[in-house]
């Protein structure tokens, strides 16, 4: 593997000194970019992009050709594991992801296979290897998965949900069944992320998109416990480097001290938590990633710069901050505004770091 030319993202994840705060964006390869829309049209649909390693590589690299980002993230979907378990993932225009089959009974859960990534999801493993080769050491590559709880919500509901009625009903009425499902998913996610690491991912992120929908006690039981299990089962070093792990629970600001105790290297924050307050809660135990409201990118450039400056000031001096949005960039954002954001992070953050 080629030598890494820009490693500030990996250094920041490990709370090591950097020259400027590294920045990347969740969903940075996405519909806000005209070149992405053209690639998607060529692929036929979203899954056509995901399942073609060359096209997945093409769209992963597109934002890096436009912006001086400090990391690439694998182009894929969080729902590849349930799809590989046989639930039949498809995308409904205007409605997002749906499954042809759902999970509701003991028989349904027993019938689910544990996913063997190289065998069941070869297109993802091949995409990671292809992207890593094409990056040629330019920036690190991030692999990712959905958390067991988040995957379970889609599998039980059949798609996204406003109230997670069926999922919570299963968790509260038949917790032993929910734990069986989550246990199977935790093994699959661990194997999936390890396959990505072996193929060349240099850091991994677990997206716990719906953990924030749980009560305090239920979060610990049904989401956090399984993410902790996954973290403990991941490959810790590859290519002679540590492979840092990022946990991101959307709506999880109140659980940061518990998340910091999982063994993860970095915690993602959404925009509802002040990053300075988060830093005082977790101290030097973990790095923090975030956390500008993606909607700020609809504002004028001066307002975007002011928001970047405020978040940098809130975090303060020293290492351990990876700048990101508090959730994924949205399709209607002007690509020029994303450029203003990224340049502002690099320009304004230098004052918060000693020269290294």
Structural domains of the chain, count: 1
Annotated binding site: 27-31, 77, 154, 209, 327
Name the average pLDDT for the chain. 96
Q: What is the mean pLDDT of residues 105-111?
A: 97
Residue 115's domain spans which residues?
A: 26-280
- 324 domain-assigned: no
- 310 domain-assigned: no
Residue 8: which of 141, 205, 140 has the closest Cα?
A: 140
CATH code at position 85: 3.20.20.210
pLDDT in tens, 110-136: 999 999 999 999 999 999 999 999 999
- 299 domain-assigned: no
pLDDT in tens, 293-316: 999 999 999 999 999 999 999 999
Q: What single string gives the DSSP state of each residue in 50-115?
A: HT-HHHHHHHHHHHHHHS--S-EE----TTHHHIIIII-EEEETTTEEEESS---SHHHHHHPPPP
Residue 166: band (very low, low, confident or very high) from pLDDT cuts 50, 70, 90: very high
What's the pLDDT at 355?
Answer: 67
**Percent helix / strand / coil, the chain, rounded to 5:** 50, 10, 35
Identify whether the C-beta of residue 40 lies closer than 8 Å to the C-beta of residue 30. Answer: no
- 265 domain-assigned: yes
pLDDT in tens, 195-245: 999 999 999 999 999 999 999 999 999 999 999 999 999 999 998 999 999
What is the pTM (predicted TM-score) of this model? 0.97
Residue 148 to residue 187: CA distance in whole angstroms: 9
pLDDT in tens, 27-81: 999 999 999 999 999 998 888 999 999 999 999 999 999 999 999 999 999 999 9
- 177 domain-assigned: yes
Rounded (5°) CA angle 136-139-141: 90
- 323 domain-assigned: no
Residues with catalytic roles? 27, 31, 40, 77, 154
- 318 domain-assigned: no
């Amino acid at each position: 593997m080629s030598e890494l030319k820009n490693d500030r993202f990996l250094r920041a994840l490990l709370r090591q000194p950097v020259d400027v705060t590294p920045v990347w964006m969740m969903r940075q390869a996405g519909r806000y970019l005209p070149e992405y829309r053209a690639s998607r049209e060529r692929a036929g649909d979203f899954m056509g992009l995901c399942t073609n390693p060359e096209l997945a590589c093409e769209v992963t690299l597109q934002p890096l050709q436009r912006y001086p980002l400090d990391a690439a993230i694998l182009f894929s979907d969080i729902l590849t594991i349930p799809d590989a378990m046989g639930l039949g993932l498809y995308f409904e225009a205007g409605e997002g992801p749906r499954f042809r089959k759902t999970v509701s009974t003991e028989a349904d859960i027993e019938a689910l296979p544990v996913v063997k990534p190289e065998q069941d999801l070869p297109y993802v493993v091949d995409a990671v290897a292809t992207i890593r080769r094409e990056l040629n050491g330019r920036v690190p590559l991030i692999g990712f998965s959905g958390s067991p709880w988040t995957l379970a919500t889609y599998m039980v509901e059949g798609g996204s949900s406003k109230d997670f009625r069926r999922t919570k009903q299963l968790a509260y009425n038949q917790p032993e069944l929910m734990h069986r499902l989550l246990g199977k998913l935790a093994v699959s996610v661990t194997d999936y992320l390890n396959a990505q690491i072996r193929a060349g991912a240099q850091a991994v992120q677990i997206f716990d998109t719906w953990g924030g929908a749980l009560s305090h006690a239920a979060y610990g039981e049904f989401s956090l416990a399984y993410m902790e299990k996954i973290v403990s089962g991941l490959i810790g070093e590859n290519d002679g480097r540590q492979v840092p792990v990022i946990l991101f629970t959307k709506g999880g600001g109140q659980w940061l001290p518990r998340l910091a105790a999982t063994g993860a290297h970095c915690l993602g924050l959404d925009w509802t938590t002040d990053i300075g307050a988060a830093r005082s809660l977790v101290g030097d135990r973990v790095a923090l990633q975030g956390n500008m409201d993606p909607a700020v990118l609809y504002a004028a450039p001066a307002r975007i710069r002011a928001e970047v400056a405020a978040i940098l000031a809130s975090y303060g001096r020293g290492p351990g901050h990876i700048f990101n949005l508090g959730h994924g960039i949205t399709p209607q954002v002007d690509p020029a505004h994303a450029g203003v954001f990224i340049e502002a992070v690099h320009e304004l953050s230098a004052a918060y770091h000693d020269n290294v």
